[in-house]
Structure 1
């Protein structure tokens, strides 16, 4: 039953009243009291209400326990956060992206595989390196002998050799080598014509594969596969960069959403505290009871707990953002405020209808970095499979050798004979090598066949995941857009309802607990609107991530080649 104003007066001043048939909750008629006393009581009541800010006119004073937004247009947008406190960390979204791309630890780990892939490309290019060989050797030998021709019991021999060689492989698989050999022999034997004897020769050797490892495709197979693997690693790095930027934006939105929800909790707590103050003043005037104060104070305590939880949610959201940005050197208690959050600006792009799913899928299969990386992996596996098939063939090499020789008692004449090409030797032949079981080549071929099948399955898996992600995020965008519209209308209705019920409360037709409930209903509606706006922003980020356009949509030029680790500079 509703209480009338007279019920809060001291018992000795309460006039006897009797209920009139059909009267409303506040419709009591006094009997046995002059009309002047009633007028005085009404004047005192209005004076007490005016002290507490509950005016009788329809306008909503700033001090009354009513909603901050009293019109539909003001209530249709989310509650914005108050000005950040002193000492807060203010930054732009682009600053956050740059910080995360440069210092995020997970992204730094993702930069290692492209660097390893680039090093592997360098390794594979080594097969075309020119190899220079130098050999210098001195040998002395002392051996006993019983040969009478030597005329000595001890045979002493020695030689000095110097060899200079150069080898290289051509892209066609041909290996050529040039070697210049010089030798000086000496002995104590008496039957040697040249002592010391100098010999020199120049040897040119050419080996061309006819079967295994023959042709540019087989020779460059491992190099081409390594280059494709490097491109795939860079695409995965780009994917990780997109994921990092998306995570940063989600974290920024979450920080702003929690700050706004905290502000909603602050507003509804202030309403409860003003209601406590209002009833306390009325009690001093003898117009309210202790029960009214306790009822409002208990609700205020519950709202203080809600405010503490909302403040903790802000800190936890800021901790997550700080971890993504690797801002370990900043004050952990400082407020983090992004000054250009799309959520703060109420970006009209968020309200636009997303493109059709088929169009988004076509774009996803062109721009998703993980899909492009999977295609490069398949290209590398195709190259390695053809190379493995080539390795099953027998080794058949065409070998040709041309050699020019010189021999004299001094080095100069020996070299002259080589230059004049007076004494030459040549040879042409075929070198055939066949593995009877060929286990290694056959096993390697089967392994590459399975690796190609795995690469194909990975592509299909990414295609299925892309279809699911695009469809899911597309649906979430449309759902969240509708949620925002519904939540905006709910806030408008809650504001209107609270405004109406405040009028009834001023007239004494609404219990204290009902007013508190309507205040909480408005706060809940505002919180749902805050969450709907945050979810809408995040769903757009998820949709852009699903189609792989997070970086270009934000104007971020992420050069994967420039982001690789400097391995030589690392300790």
Structure 2
């Protein structure tokens, strides 16, 4: 039998006795109401006992899910305050999901991890941010003269410098800069005909790596790694959501089962107390010996102890659920949780081959390992580039200008020339491009031996090869998990059938033994023993239902379909856009070395894409 989608007609039909395909015998044997007759093989037996475990007749399998998707934010959000304090909180499973998804503290930590990864992407893109520098300085010197060529007995020199510049790095590895500077010089030397004078210059320079350090592969490494890390963090958050949902499921039904166990213990104690009362009446009328009271009293004491233990287990189970739901205020812990979820049983037998295929496709661990392998392959390409020699092209171009105040004589006409322009004249010369200058060169560096780079390349290749083996091991592990999960469903359905039959037979056995005891054909010890058998059968039935419910959720986890099954969606705005991440899609710029840049399987520019 295959599972339907919650809310679909086929799914609802299987949940109602009498529908085509519904397990009629199972429902007829499970649906035993407190104080009502039970139908067993066509015979009606009026059960005077109250089998608390049969309240769980609708087994813990198919929650009545809400019609709309439960959205889980992937980024930090305000944590809702407590809805009740010191009161009773009626809680169905959907409300439990919603509370856990909004208040669970582990999820909050996971959200901050994603926000931190987003910030890391912005931080990594800062390597391409331009830098502006502004400087000003001055100096003054006065020294005694040692030669007549200094133009003064005690020469004095004063310099005042101003400068501004901008530089940056491009994704191709290009270092660029633009600098403007000016210097005001003044002296008492008679040999300077421009005094004071202004010397200004404007220079543009680039340094372009042609081998090692060239291209977007190397220079965008910080961004690529940050994006990959963010994608892995998102997958880890999905796994955290899945684990939290499973914890909600487990803790919710553990609480339900624990409280059913309390009811079983209460009913067992009630049966023992009734037997004690009947024994006391028999002793009074002389049909039983006083020694029979000892067995009955011992049975009551034992069941009271079992009831205390069951209540303690139920209290602990409630605290575990509160922890998963995110109760973090002392007042919230005073709230009593009343579980209200209805549950129904329908055997679910998935196909093993398709389940394995689904698990290998949808498990977030697979995607996370793929991202890890991609970034390790990226590291291999970077290491290949690092093995290359360095070959840098260096070029600069600029203009200069000079201005100042002074007098001189035209060497041709012998007429005096008076200069009184200063700083504006030097700027005019730069603006008119009167005095250009340029520089062009290459610089080659070849490491002898290159052991460090070669060792790093070998290390990166081994790391990548290891990730391939780790992926194969992960596939193997997921296949094993799916197989175990499918078998758990198959065995669990049979176990439920057997546990229901065992509980019903134990109830009939106690009814028969009680009748024999009333007719003087049985002893207190035998009745107490069969009462204990019934209690154990009821507890076993509860555990079987719980195990089947866990097996169903475990199957969804193993196949990576729990979020779809529970209709839970993670709202992730995706990776942030950054202004400096350009030229990433130009293939010829994705250079690592001449041997392997063209045959890499994974496009580096698309590593860890934004979801």
Who is 2:527 aligned against? Answer: 515
Give me the whole-angstrom Cα distance separating, in 2, the residues matched to 1:390 and 1:479.
Answer: 56
Give me the whole-angstrom Cα distance separating, in 2, the residues matched to 1:448 and 1:287.
Answer: 89
Question: Does the residue aligned with 1:515 lie in a helix, a strand or coil?
Answer: helix
Q: How does 1:333-372 map to 2 (within 5 A)?
A: 335-340=336-341, 344-348=342-346, 351-353=347-349, 355-372=350-367
Who is 2:597 aligned against? Answer: none
Who is 1:322 aligned against? Answer: 322
**Contact 1:158/1:186, CA 8 A, preserved across alignment:** yes
The CA deviation string for residues 146-187 of structure 1, in whole angstroms up to 9 with x for no partner, is: 122334332211211221112233333323221111111111
Question: Does the residue aligned with 1:558 lie in a helix, a strand or coil?
Answer: strand
1:302, CA displacement in angstroms? 0.8
Q: How does 1:79-118 map to 2 (within 5 A)?
A: 87-111=87-111, 113-118=113-118
Question: Does the residue aligned with 2:179 lie in a helix, a strand or coil?
Answer: strand
Who is 1:313 aligned against? Answer: 313
Who is 2:447 aligned against? Answer: 435
Who is 1:29 aligned against? Answer: none
Q: Select the residue among 37, 47, 50 that pairs with 1:68.
A: 50
Q: Select the residue among 561, 585, 604 that pairs with 1:549.
A: 561
Bigger Cα displacement from structure 2, 329-338 vs 542-551 = 329-338
Larger Rg: 1
1:78, CA displacement in angstroms? 7.3
1:417, CA displacement in angstroms? 0.5
Question: Does the residue aligned with 1:195 lie in a helix, a strand or coil?
Answer: coil
Number of residues of Structure 1 aligned to a counterpart in Structure 2: 491
**Contact 1:77/1:488, CA 8 A, preserved across alignment:** no
**Contact 2:173/2:213, CA 8 A, preserved across alignment:** yes
1:307, CA displacement in angstroms? 1.0
1:88, CA displacement in angstroms? 3.6
Who is 1:373 aligned against? Answer: 368
Who is 1:172 aligned against? Answer: 172
Give me the whole-angstrom Cα distance separating, in 2, the residues matched to 1:75 and 1:220.
Answer: 59
**Contact 1:481/1:536, CA 8 A, preserved across alignment:** yes
Question: Does the residue aligned with 2:309 lie in a helix, a strand or coil?
Answer: helix
Question: Does the residue aligned with 2:150 lie in a helix, a strand or coil?
Answer: coil
Who is 2:13 aligned against? Answer: none
Give me the whole-angstrom Cα distance separating, in 2, the residues matched to 1:110 and 1:468.
Answer: 28
Give me the whole-angstrom Cα distance separating, in 2, the residues matched to 1:74 and 1:321.
Answer: 21
Who is 1:276 aligned against? Answer: 276
Who is 1:3 aligned against? Answer: none
Who is 2:605 aligned against? Answer: none
The CA deviation string for residues 234-282 of structure 1, in whole angstroms up to 9 with x for no partner, is: 1112112211221121111111111111111110110111111222234
**Contact 1:396/1:430, CA 8 A, preserved across alignment:** yes
Question: Does the residue aligned with 1:166 lie in a helix, a strand or coil?
Answer: strand
Q: Select the residue among 382, 388, 391 that pairs with 1:387.
A: 382
1:500 counterpart = 2:512: yes
Who is 2:228 aligned against? Answer: 228
Q: Select the residue among 391, 416, 426 that pairs with 1:414.
A: 426
Q: Select the residue among 515, 537, 559 that pairs with 1:525.
A: 537
Question: Does the residue aligned with 2:507 lie in a helix, a strand or coil?
Answer: helix
The CA deviation string for residues 19-47 of structure 1, in whole angstroms up to 9 with x for no partner, is: xxxxxxxxxxxxxxxxxxxxxxxxxxxxx
Give me the whole-angstrom Cα distance separating, in 2, the residues matched to 1:73 and 1:90.
Answer: 22
Q: TM-score, normalised by structure 1?
A: 0.80
Q: Return 5+ residue gaps in structure 2 as ranges.
A: 1-42, 61-85, 405-421, 577-611
Q: How does 1:109-258 map to 2 (within 5 A)?
A: 109-111=109-111, 113-258=113-258
Give me the whole-angstrom Cα distance separating, in 1, the residues matched to 2:575 and 2:305.
Answer: 47
Who is 2:492 aligned against? Answer: 480
1:111, CA displacement in angstroms? 4.3
Who is 1:398 aligned against? Answer: 393
CA RMSD of aligned residues (A): 2.8
Who is 1:558 aligned against? Answer: 570
1:400, CA displacement in angstroms? 1.8
The CA deviation string for residues 446-500 of structure 1, in whole angstroms up to 9 with x for no partner, is: 3322321332233223212211211112111211111100001112212222222
Give me the whole-angstrom Cα distance separating, in 1, the residues matched to 2:135 and 2:56.
Answer: 90
Who is 2:459 aligned against? Answer: 447
Give me the whole-angstrom Cα distance separating, in 1, the residues matched to 2:318 and 2:54.
Answer: 31
**Contact 1:225/1:384, CA 8 A, preserved across alignment:** no
Q: TM-score, normalised by structure 2?
A: 0.75
Alpha-carbon distance change, 305 to 562 in structure 1, aligned in 2, over 3 angstroms: farther
Who is 1:262 aligned against? Answer: 262
Bigger Cα displacement from structure 2, 91-100 vs 295-304 = 91-100
Question: Does the residue aligned with 2:180 lie in a helix, a strand or coil?
Answer: strand
Who is 2:580 aligned against? Answer: none
1:402, CA displacement in angstroms? 1.1
